[in-house]
């Protein structure tokens, strides 16, 4: 029996699936070879495991195994994609198109490139957090070399029109990158159908281990060339040098295999939970605003603002009962308001009252009901307190 709060922060990270742990365990001490050591059986066993994981991950996004480049996670993958394109295609142009609601792993590299003399267009989003494909088209110049639009937003769960943007990029012979850390393993992502050239993934967002990720790099039609960010040995087709983390790679492969098989059923369960929670908030609290698109959103994400209730106060009051967030886990220590909620043209009250709830594989029906009860009660008590304080 545990007294820990109910975990509803799966957008931040997920527990590692026990089946993934079981797959990883032999590669710590039994099959411990270096996958780059091909002169003996120890290394060959490790290489075979890595190759199998490449195939499992490739199958999840409809890619080829040789297009899978292992990294430490989506942040590193984003950096390799953005800096790699900027350097390799500098003779073609110096302009990048992205979006104001991107993760900092995309925004910060873009800001750095601006400091180095590159030009970046930051597209706005509509009130639901979606980029208009026509805005992407209009932003293209003869010097545009990369479009980087995230697949699904990490705070509000809005899913981008990737196929439409991919078609525009292909039409203009421009590379298309997507940070898909929140999407892969939760909704279908098809790099061929969506005409994506570069895709960033983190294993820990779909019940795999932390510290391992992938950069999908298209190898043909067109072949994408990248300048490496890490040098020293030429691992991962020269793009990411360093001894491969075989246990975690095996774990990511297993997590991808499970996600491909179970993602559809999970999405239905998660969407039922988030819809039930939102419906209860509307009926029992009333002053609640849904942040993000009403339908084109991740099934496991629910971002809402409770009018008149500070999100930090709610989190503190529920700290021992329910674990959720005010926004991105990567910026939770910052006192700055969410740049994502602000981009929705939200007023200050809505920005400071936004919370992100994200459900996942190891939640239960009973937990969802209990967590909803606790949130409803807490919001009610905080509203009463605020009303009382207003009378003084």
- pLDDT digit string (tens) for 361-382? 999 999 999 999 999 999 999 9
The model's pLDDT over 205-217, given as tens digits with 9 standing for 90+, comes to 999 999 999 999 9
The model's pLDDT over 23-71, given as tens digits with 9 standing for 90+, comes to 999 999 999 998 988 889 999 999 999 999 999 999 999 999 999 999 9
Q: What is the CATH number of the domain that holds 313?
A: 3.90.1150.10
Which two tokens mark 315?
A: 């989190």
Q: What pLDDT score was predicted for residue 1?
A: 42
Q: Answer yes or no: are the C-beta atoms of 304 and 289 closer than 8 Å.
A: yes
The model's pLDDT over 72-118, given as tens digits with 9 standing for 90+, comes to 999 999 999 999 999 999 999 999 999 999 999 999 999 999 999 99
Q: Which residue has the higher pLDDT, 326 or 14?
A: 14
Is residue 104 one of the residues assigned to a domain? yes
Nearest to 218 by CA among 239, 195, 250: 195
* Same domain as 148, residue 114: yes
Residue 328 pLDDT > 50: no
Can you tell me the mean pLDDT for 246-260? Answer: 98
Q: What pLDDT score was predicted for residue 144?
A: 98
Which two tokens mark 31?
A: 């099959």
Residue 326 pLDDT > 60: yes
Q: Look at residues 242, 258, 274 and tell me which one is the last residue of a structural domain.
A: 258
At 327, the pLDDT band (50, 70, 90 cuts) reads low
* Same domain as 164, residue 177: yes
Q: Answer yes or no: are the C-beta atoms of 141 and 172 closer than 8 Å.
A: no
* Same domain as 51, residue 179: yes
> Catalytic annotation on 207?
no
- Catalytic residue from among 99, 110, 207, 330: 330
Can you tell me the mean pLDDT for 264-293? Answer: 97
* Same domain as 151, residue 241: yes
At 333, the pLDDT band (50, 70, 90 cuts) reads low
Can you tell me the mean pLDDT for 311-339? Answer: 80
Is residue 1 one of the residues assigned to a domain? no
Residue 308 pLDDT > 70: yes
* Same domain as 239, residue 276: no
């Amino acid at each position: 029996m545990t007294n820990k709060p109910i975990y509803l922060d799966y957008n931040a990270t997920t527990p590692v699936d026990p089946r993934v742990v079981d797959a990883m365990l032999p590669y710590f001490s039994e099959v411990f070879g270096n996958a780059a050591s091909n002169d003996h059986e120890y290394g060959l066993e490790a290489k075979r495991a890595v190759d199998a994981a490449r195939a499992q991950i490739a199958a999840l996004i409809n890619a080829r195994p040789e297009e899978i480049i292992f990294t430490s996670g989506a942040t590193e993958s984003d950096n390799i994609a953005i800096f790699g394109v900027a350097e390799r295609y500098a003779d073609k142009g110096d302009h990048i198109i992205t979006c104001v609601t991107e993760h900092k792993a995309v925004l910060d590299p873009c800001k750095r490139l601006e400091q180095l003399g590159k030009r970046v267009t930051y597209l706005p989003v509509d009130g639901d957090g979606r980029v208009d494909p026509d805005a992407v088209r209009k932003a293209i110049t003869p010097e545009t070399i990369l479009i980087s639009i995230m697949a699904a937003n990490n705070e509000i769960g809005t899913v981008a029109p990737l196929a439409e943007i991919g078609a525009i990029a292909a039409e203009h012979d421009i590379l298309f990158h997507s940070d898909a850390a929140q999407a892969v393993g939760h909704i279908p992502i098809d790099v061929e159908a969506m005409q994506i050239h570069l895709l960033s993934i983190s294993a820990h967002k779909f019940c795999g281990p932390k510290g391992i990720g992938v950069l999908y790099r298209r190898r043909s039609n067109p072949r994408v060339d990248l300048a490496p960010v890490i040098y020293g040995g030429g691992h991962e087709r020269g793009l990411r040098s360093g001894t491969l983390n075989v246990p975690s790679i095996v774990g990511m492969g297993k997590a991808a295999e499970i996600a491909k098989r179970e993602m559809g059923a999970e999405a239905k369960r998660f969407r039922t939970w988030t819809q039930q929670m939102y419906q209860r908030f509307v009926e029992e609290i009333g002053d609640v605003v849904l942040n993000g698109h009403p339908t084109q959103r991740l099934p496991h994400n629910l971002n809402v603002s409770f009018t008149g209730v500070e999100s930090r106060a709610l989190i503190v009051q529920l700290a021992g009962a329910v674990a959720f967030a005010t926004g991105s886990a990567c910026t939770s220590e910052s006192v700055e308001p969410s740049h994502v909620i602000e981009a929705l043209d939200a007023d200050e009250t809505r920005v400071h009252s936004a919370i992100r709830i994200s459900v996942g594989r190891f939640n239960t029906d009973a937990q969802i009901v209990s967590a909803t009860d606790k949130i409803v009660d807490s919001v009610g008590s905080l509203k009463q307190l605020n009303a009382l304080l207003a009378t003084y």
